[in-house]
Amino acid sequence: MRPAVQCALQRIRRFSTAPLGLGAAALLFGVQPASADPGDVLSFGIGGFAIDHSESAWYVEGQFQFAEALRGVFRPVSGFMLSTEDDVTAYAGLSLPIDIGPSWMATPVLALGVHHDGDTIDLGHTLQFYRGLQVEYRLNADVQIGAKVFYLSNLGLGDDDPGAYALALTYGLRY
């Protein structure tokens, strides 16, 4: 792996708990969820899976974020990803959209998923924990574009837990 990529991934690893920290800070300081009319959001993405391993692959994903918030804050989310090397993950969990500017939003996501190993890295267990952070820009009331980083890990459920990072560009439709 190239030194520049290794350096960038080491920095990302330091922030792999960013979704937890951002969500906790938001609750602690009374940050309200995103003020835009939430609506359901269907988003699609394309990016790199297992970017921190030599066996990386391209992947596509779909994600659905429900408008109805639990306890007025957390929005249920579900999604899937499919890599060019036959890795498949489906997940469901909670998200916390937070306004960070007039048209910008940061959304930490925590989810539980099932994973089928393809020809990239063996993640060590079928059950995977999904921790991610999405940053999106609202082009208008119905369309948003963004980027996301997420980390899949079995959190020690398997004998081996190499974990895998993914990075993607996203396009979302609100309705």
pTM: 0.79
Q: How would you class 37 by CB atoms within 10 Å of its CB: exposed for 0-12, middle for 13-18, buried for 19 or more?
A: exposed
| Amino acid 30: pLDDT | 53
What Å distances lie between residue 113 and 5, 31, 71, 77, CA to CA? 27, 28, 23, 11
Give pLDDT tens digits for 81-113: 999 999 999 999 999 999 888 899 999 999 999
Backbone angles phi, psi at 63, to 5 degrees: -145, 140
Give pLDDT tens digits for 119-172: 988 999 999 999 999 999 999 989 999 999 999 999 999 889 999 999 999 999
Distance CA 23, CA 31 (A): 9
Q: What is the mean pLDDT of the chain?
A: 85
Residue ranges of domains in the chain, CATH in brackets: 3-174 (2.40.160.20)
Distance CA 17, CA 31 (A): 19
